[in-house]
Structure 1
Amino acid sequence: MSGDASSHAGSRLYPALPLLAVSVCVFRGAQALLATRTRPPFEGAFSLPGGLVEAGETLEAAALRELLEEVGVEARVLGFNRHVESIERDEAGGVRRHFVIASFVAEWIAGEGTPGLEAGEVAWAAPEALDAMTLTPMTAEVVRAAAALAPRLRAG
């Protein structure tokens, strides 16, 4: 790491603090929406749509904004699923990336899912089909937890 921590305060690499992010597991029937990442880390692997929370934005609003921006899908948030921590260290043990991701469960409203700058291939997949896909770490666990939670959230 070069420079002091304050020089990296706004950076995703070597952040001074963990970065707050969101993801959303959108279900259309029994299938969840996934998209491949177009940049590191985990470029080319399927993951849930999501990204960083902007100042003044609620977590749910951030999740829905990222979903629409990344893949052109609209959804209704049913509730919170779980959080995921992603910490990547460099060869010297320094923290290269650190994200705390709040993941939500949602129901599809509109949009088929289209590739863009941040999302490559888009797929709708059943939770039992995930083992055959190349996924980012924790994606299968998050989707399966969301699938188990969704019926209870829909029932209110």
Structure 2
Amino acid sequence: MTDDRLYPTRPILAASVAVIRDGRILLTARGKPPSEGLFSLPGGMVETGETLAETALRELREEVGVKAELIGLIAPVEFIERDEKGHIRHHVVIAAHAARWVSGEPQTGPEAKEIRWVTERDIADLPMTAGLAGILAQVFRLARMDSDA
């Protein structure tokens, strides 16, 4: 298996998960490039034979030690980054999911250098990865509907 994340020959498929707990969503500051230091959802690359949902939950456990129950797929996020010559440095399509927290207190690590449970108000000035604000808006709406049920 080759690792062609940098200057890939085709888009890379990944999955992430927005975990909801008591009206807050779990965000992590990325510990590695691309977008190092920016807040994002736990997630990572899909492995051969793994579903998008399985990837989202596996990455959540591996990155921060949390278990969750999926609610569903929210939306795709496309991350495309070009270098100074215009060549594609990164091209990742991320299937963002929503989930309810089940167990585990999140822990920092190499891929998650900071962890926050955030409200909608908390994200206004938070440095985030591209497209995350729209995903979070959808997940917060879903969380409100879920708590009203």
What TM-score range do you get, normalising by the shorter chain? over 0.9
Q: Report the secondary structure of 2:85's partner residue.
A: coil
Aligned AA for 2:55? A
Alpha-carbon distance, 1:10 to partner: 3.0
Alpha-carbon distance, 1:128 to partner: 2.2
- Residue 121 of structure 1, aligned match among 107, 114, 129: 114
Is 2:124 the counterpart of 1:131?
yes
Deviations, residues 59-84 of structure 1 (Å, cap 9, x unaligned): 10000000000001000000110000
2:98 alignment counterpart: 105
Structure 1 segments (4+ residues) deviating >4 Å = 151-156
The number of residue pairs the alignment matches comes to 148
Alpha-carbon distance, 1:153 to partner: 6.4
Alpha-carbon distance, 1:88 to partner: 0.3
Q: Counterparts of 1:22 and 1:73 in 2: how far apart (Å)? A: 16
1:70 alignment counterpart: 63
Q: Counterparts of 1:153 and 1:92 in 2: how far apart (Å)? A: 46
- Residue 47 of structure 1, aligned match among 40, 49, 65: 40
Q: Report the secondary structure of 2:124's partner residue.
A: helix
Q: 5+ residue gaps in structure 2?
A: none
User: What's the % identity of the aligned pairs?
Assistant: 46
Q: Counterparts of 1:153 and 1:105 in 2: how far apart (Å)? A: 12
- Residue 80 of structure 1, aligned match among 66, 73, 77: 73
Contact 1:78–1:150, Cα closer than 8 Å, also in 2: no
Q: Measured at CA, do residues 26 and 69 of structure 1 come closer, stay the same or move farther in structure 2, by a change above 3 Å?
A: same
Q: Counterparts of 1:29 and 1:128 in 2: how far apart (Å)? A: 15
Contact 2:23–2:143, Cα closer than 8 Å, also in 1: no
Q: Counterparts of 1:88 and 1:132 in 2: how far apart (Å)? A: 23
Is 2:125 the counterpart of 1:145?
no
Q: Counterparts of 1:95 and 1:155 in 2: how far apart (Å)? A: 44
TM-score (norm 2): 0.93
Deviations, residues 20-44 of structure 1 (Å, cap 9, x unaligned): 0011000001100001101111111
Q: 5+ residue gaps in structure 1?
A: 1-8
Q: Counterparts of 1:155 and 1:107 in 2: how far apart (Å)? A: 15
Q: Report the secondary structure of 1:113's partner residue.
A: coil
Alpha-carbon distance, 1:154 to partner: 7.7
